[in-house]
Structure 1
Amino acid sequence: MYRAESVTASCRPRTATIIVDPVRRSAALEHRGASAAHGRVDDLRNRDQLTEIHIDAVDGQDDDLLLIYRPARPADTESGGAILFRRQTDGAIPHGHPPAVSTLAQVLFDGLRAEAPNAPLLAHVALALRAILPCAGPRAEAGAPRGGLAGWQERRATAFMEERLDQSFPVSAVADACGLSVNHFSRAFRRSLGKPPHRWLLDRRIDRARELLRATAMSLADIALACGFAEQSHFTRVFTRTVGMPPGAWRRNVD
């Protein structure tokens, strides 16, 4: 049974936004204004959570429609996602989607123009679209392993750690930046990058240390600190285990 929520037919922005709750099977219009809707579109696109579909305009109207699917749980980014329908009149619209997609999208556009939009109908059609377009959640990039990080999460995690190679921080801080629990993040990171976060971080710190050993005259103690090692002895042990020789010997061989 679809549950209706309060929806009013006030003046709608050029980009209409429908918030879909798959768990409660309900839908409601969001009235934030065109600029807020466009900002949300940019954010979803940057996080690889947006499926964008172009369809033909009708009666010269080229408004947009954004469907946002709420995640089942706030921290569960994998169950969320969005579809942006863009209606254009340029006559060069690529149609790479099933025919039913355009039909269902038109039902949504027509429903939004009604005096009192039918929330249960909006939810029903939006969920049908999601069933047809399974990519309407966070999309796995080409070659990405199943169960790994989304593209935006991988970029955010690696950038977070790259920026803090000289600092000490817990894995939970990186997981929080990706909106995941520590256990979920650690499993997904290993599946995506082939090694656990701690190992990836140590390898990057050793890479940075080799750059400094090769290009600077910094002491081993200073390089250790610059690469996030609290003590030179720890740095030497990790470097030797990773590279096969102590950092001092490695520097002399490079020279």
Structure 2
Amino acid sequence: MTGCLSKMGFDGFRVDRTYPAADPLSGDTLERAAGQIKRRSGIVDVRFTALDTDSRTPLFIAYAERRGTRPDLGYAIHPIDEEVAPASARPSCSIVSRLCSLLSRIAALEPFPSQVFAEVALALRAAHGAAHVPASVRAQRGLTTTMNDLAIRLMNEQLIAGFDTGAIASACGLSARDFRRAFRLTHGVTPMQWGKWRRIELAKKTLAETTKSLAEVAAVCGFPEQVQFVRAFVSFEGVSPRAWRRRVPDRAPLDVAPLHDCTAAV
């Protein structure tokens, strides 16, 4: 979406997600918000079939996390002429068209119902789908629940042999850089730090429930050498594996999620 939105007939609004509220944007303020969003993440073009002649006003919505923060996602919403538009350009979701039409109607109300507009705008964003949100924007907010479940499952499956962060990022639809950033926002650690923590948790379970030697524990938990295992264990637990084992009651079961559990606590 390029050009001057005001001259193209767009009515602009800023919508804050944390405390749902909407504020009108016009003139230079509208163009500045659209320009910032376009440079940072891109603008999503949303076409809809107007339900009537009263709901054909094109809208631009700048979504922000909360008041005082810059918008990070923009929707350029405009009706299509079904008589001339090719089938491929027509919206596939009737819910999206209904919400867009409703927003167009709400925008014309006096006085302007800020919270109602914001709630419908947020519903539109949810209905339009996370797949339409630029990957760079998704990365700035952390992993979605679906992406996080997939990533943790793949990392658990490949934990002992060593997982490929790039391949997991690709499976989540992100670049390796965006995936690392999103993972850290979600879990507070990098994927590699998470993997080391997970191996230490499994090592603790093995130490507590078996009589395996430290070398054997290191091997079954994915550490190439005992010395690396001991060093990593001390960095996480503050004591050596041998000292930690002595503190645990004989063969006490330890509550550690199995490798196939993709919802393991982090």
Give the TM-score normalised by structure 1: 0.49
Higher relative contact order (CA 8 A, sep 6+): 1
Give the TM-score normalised by structure 2: 0.47
